[in-house]
Structures are given as C-alpha cells and as structure tokens.
C-alpha cells in the first residue's frame, strides 16, 4: 500500500529536510537559506528519464547559478548508488539519499503510479522551486525530462538590460539620445556653412610701379 500523499501548494513553507548527499555529507534545507532552490524528486538513479533530467540540469547548471538557483535531486537510492550516478554523469549538484522516504513523503511525492500497464507505488516525478525565504514558489508536476532546466528557467527569465544614454535623467534609450545629438551636430554644421568668411586684414595700397628685380638683386624704390 502507498502512503497518503501530502498535498503541498505554493505560498507555504517548504517542509524541512536533512540527510546525506552522494559524498556522505549531511546537509538540509536550512543550508540554502537566502538562496533559491530547485528541489527535484526523481524515481531512480541511472534510468533513461532520470538521467535525461539530471543531465539537463547539469548542462545549464552555470546559468541556473547565475540566476540564483541551487539544485538538489532526491530519490530513495542509497548513498553509494547516488555516488556512482553522480560520478558517471559528472553531476555538479547534490543528491539527497532518502531510502527511508522521510523527505519524499513529507513532500507528498510517493504514491500510486502506472507504467506500461502496470500499477505500483513509487516516486512521482515532481520539482519544487523554493525561494530565498524557504517558501514554495512553484511546483512542476508535468516534468519534461529532456529540457527540465529550461522548464525551470521559463518561470524566471533573465532581466533585459536597457541601454541608456550617459547623462540622460529621463531614462530614454540611447538610440533616441543619439538621434537628437545627430540633429544638433547637423544644425551646427549648417550654421557654420552659412557664416561669411572674415575679410583679409591686409590692405592693398596703390602706388608707383616697381620694377622687377633680377635674381640676387634687392628691390629698390624707384623714383617717379
């Protein structure tokens, strides 16, 4: 018989958990205070769907970290099996070993399942997005294993940076500021083009003709 499922919902405190990771180190939910956590529950190590899901989160792990997420996987596998799985696929995040199903049942993901016409009790693949205050922000029950990382990030797209012109207090885009500057420069250029050139300060004085000098001879004033 399956254990009764605890129905969790968004907006409530996530159940606390504590256990061993693949390296035999003790850790828990409190270790992620102040950070967002992707807590994903999966049926079994090194099975096709679970491997695809883990590898998707592995491949986008650096991006998830930049968005402020930590990742923890949970299954009923023992520590040794977690270690083998994490080493085989070079997983950069922790896997919680929960053979007693303490955390699994606290999150309500143990229940009746159907697979290839057969019914049995097991872990229902589910992901919980827990915010910095330990509150459940999202619950993903229809998990897409092959692109689960994108599924997680789709609810928290990276902010689009707006390019603003330097010195602009209004926050208008730089493109508009550049257009205004271009018009200003064009107007200034036109004004300069219309401005008359200053006359030469040298005056031509009429006087008696002066004969041409030969090379090497200094010019002399010729009397009329």
- Annotated active-site residue in 8, 20, 39, 50: 50
224 vs 221: CA distance, rounded Å? 10
Q: What is the DSSP letter of 155?
A: T
Q: Which residues contact 3 (CB under 8 A, 6 or more apart)?
A: 101, 105, 110, 111
200 vs 183: CA distance, rounded Å? 33
- Look at the block and give the residue holding tokens 């606390």: 16
HSE-CB for 186 with a 13 A CA cutoff: 6
Handedness of CA 152, 41, 61, 70 (dihedral sign): positive
Burial pattern 137-166, b for ≥16 Cβ within 10 A else e, equals beebeebebeebbebbbeeeeeeeeeeebe
> Annotated catalytic, 55?
no
* DSSP letter for each residue of 74-136: EES--HHHHHHHHHHTT--SEEEE-TT-HHHHHTT-EEEEEETTEEEEEEPPEEEEE-TTSBE
Residues forming the active site: 50
């Amino acid at each position: 018989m399956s254990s009764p499922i605890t129905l969790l919902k968004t907006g409530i405190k996530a159940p606390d958990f504590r256990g061993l990771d693949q390296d035999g180190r003790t850790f828990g939910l409190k270790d992620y205070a102040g950070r967002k956590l992707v807590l994903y529950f999966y049926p079994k190590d090194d099975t096709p769907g679970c491997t695809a899901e883990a590898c998707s989160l592995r491949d986008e792990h650096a991006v998830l970290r930049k968005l402020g997420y930590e990742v923890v996987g949970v299954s009923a596998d023992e520590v040794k099996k977690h270690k083998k799985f994490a080493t085989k696929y070079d997983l950069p995040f922790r896997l919680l070993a929960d053979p007693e199903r303490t955390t699994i049942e606290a999150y309500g993901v143990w229940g009746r399942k159907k697979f290839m016409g057969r019914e049995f009790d097991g872990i229902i693949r589910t992901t919980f997005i827990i915010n910095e205050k330990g509150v459940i922000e999202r619950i993903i029950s229809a998990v897409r294993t092959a692109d689960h990382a994108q599924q997680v990030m789709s609810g928290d797209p990276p902010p689009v940076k707006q390019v603003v012109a330097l010195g602009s207090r209004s926050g208008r885009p730089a493109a508009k500021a550049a257009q205004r500057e271009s018009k200003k420069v064009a107007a200034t250029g036109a004004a300069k083009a219309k401005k008359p050139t200053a006359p030469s300060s040298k005056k031509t004085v009429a006087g008696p003709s002066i004969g041409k000098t030969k090379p090497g001879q200094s010019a002399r004033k010729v009397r009329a």
